[in-house]
Structure formats: structure tokens, C-alpha cells
């Protein structure tokens, strides 16, 4: 694999990019946003699964660049809510809602639930594509509990209410390094790195 190799992230979320850059530290991969991402034709994430959305998004945006494209679909799954927010995690509180709005809606929906009913998991599917072709996709997850109120100021999304039992803190109370050791994205992305840095990866560059 040539060093360095560029991997463009199909997202406009700075928190997500920071996590990926931390995870890629010390590897030959350089991660950045797709240039002018918001001006490109948008991929409509309407598939019923995380995997289909991730692969479709990677394939879609890889048509607008000659570089490798990384796209993920990730979200929070709460069994007591029938799997919600699930694939709708980013749109759970409606168009234009903030992270805080989504957290508030989640806490309202879970009001009165206790113990195991508050169990949840974060899921991440990360897909890599180039030239309109999906090269690989990898998945992982992290188990936790939904706290009764937000705690911590770091992270993004549902991090302030996702209580990770191994650390005894919410994701928003952890450092980036701590979160990446245990998080859904922190588990899935190293599989992408291993794939792209394997001997057979030379054919992609």
C-alpha cells in the first residue's frame, strides 16, 4: 500500500471525522471529508438496514471522486423501543433537529423504564468503495445502557446518555482515546484499516 493513502469520509459530521482520524493515527491512511460534500447529489438513506445504507452511500459518493470513499451507517438500537431509533437515529426527532433534541425525545420515550429495559447497543457498518464499486464492508457494535439524563460534554449524537458499563461513564464523559477502545466505530474501523493495509489492497490504489 502506498504511504500515505487518502480515504475520504462521506459525511459532514466533524465528530465522526475526528474519531476516524484518531483511529487511523500511526497508519498510512489520511482521512478527510469529501470536498464540497454538501453540494453533491445527496444519497437517500431509505434502505431498511444499516448495511444497505452504508454500502449504498459508499457506492453513491465514490462516483464523484477518484479516491477511496468511506461511508458508515451507525445508530442506536433500543430493544425496549422495538429497535428504535435504529436506522432513523440521525432523524429521530425530525428534520433539522439537534443532537439535544434527539436525546430529549429518546429520554421521553424511555420515561419510567428501568433496569434491563434501558439496555441499548450502538451499531456501525463501515463500507469502502471506489469508482462506483463497493470493495468491502465491516460491522461491529457496543453494548450499554441509556442513562436517565445527559452526562458529559464530549462526543456527539447520543453519547451523553449512552452509559458504557466497562468504563462506568457515558461516552460523553470519556476521552476520545477511551471511547475508541470500546465503541462501535472504534471496533469496526480497525477492520477497514486491516483490509486497506493488507497486501491485496495494492490493487485498489
Asked if residues 190 and 149 have their Cβ atoms less than 8 Å apart, the reply is no
In the numeric block, the cell 459508499 is attached to: 58
DSSP string of 18-76, one letter each residue = HHHHHHHTTSSEEEEEPTTGGGSPPP---SSSHHHHHHHHHHHHHTT-SSEEEEEEEEE
C-alpha 158/C-alpha 197 separation (Å) is: 31
CA distances from 129 to 97, 117, 179, 180, 203 (A): 30, 38, 26, 23, 13
Does the annotation mark 159 as catalytic? no
Kindly state the cell numbers that stand for 70: 468511506
Q: What distance, in Å, lies between the first and last C-alpha atoms of the chain?
A: 7
Question: With contact defined as beta carbons under 8 Å apart, do 8 and 65 qualify?
Answer: yes
Residue among 36, 44, 72, 73 flagged as catalytic: 73
| Residues with active-site annotation | 73
Amino acid at each position: 500500500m502506498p504511504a500515505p493513502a487518502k480515504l475520504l469520509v462521506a459525511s459532514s459530521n466533524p465528530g465522526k471525522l475526528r474519531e476516524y482520524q484518531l483511529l487511523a493515527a500511526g497508519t498510512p491512511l489520511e482521512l478527510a471529508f469529501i470536498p464540497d460534500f454538501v453540494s453533491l447529489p445527496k444519497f437517500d438513506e431509505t434502505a431498511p438496514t444499516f448495511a444497505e445504507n452504508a454500502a449504498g452511500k459508499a457506492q453513491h459518493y465514490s462516483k464523484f471522486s477518484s479516491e477511496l470513499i468511506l461511508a458508515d451507517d451507525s445508530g442506536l438500537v433500543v430493544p425496549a423501543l422495538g429497535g428504535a431509533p435504529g436506522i432513523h437515529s440521525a432523524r429521530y426527532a425530525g428534520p433539522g433537529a439537534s443532537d439535544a433534541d434527539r436525546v430529549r425525545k429518546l429520554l421521553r420515550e424511555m420515561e419510567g423504564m428501568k433496569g434491563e429495559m434501558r439496555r441499548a447497543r450502538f451499531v456501525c457498518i463501515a463500507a469502502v468503495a471506489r469508482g462506483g464499486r463497493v470493495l468491502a464492508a465491516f460491522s461491529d457494535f457496543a453494548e450499554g445502557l441509556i442513562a436517565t439524563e445527559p452526562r458529559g460534554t464530549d462526543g456527539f449524537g447520543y453519547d451523553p446518555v449512552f452509559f458504557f458499563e466497562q468504563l462506568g461513564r457515558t461516552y460523553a464523559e470519556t476521552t476520545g482515546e477511551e471511547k475508541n477502545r470500546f465503541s462501535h466505530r472504534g471496533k469496526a474501523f480497525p477492520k477497514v484499516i486491516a483490509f486497506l493495509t493488507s497486501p491485496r489492497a495494492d490493487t485498489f490504489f
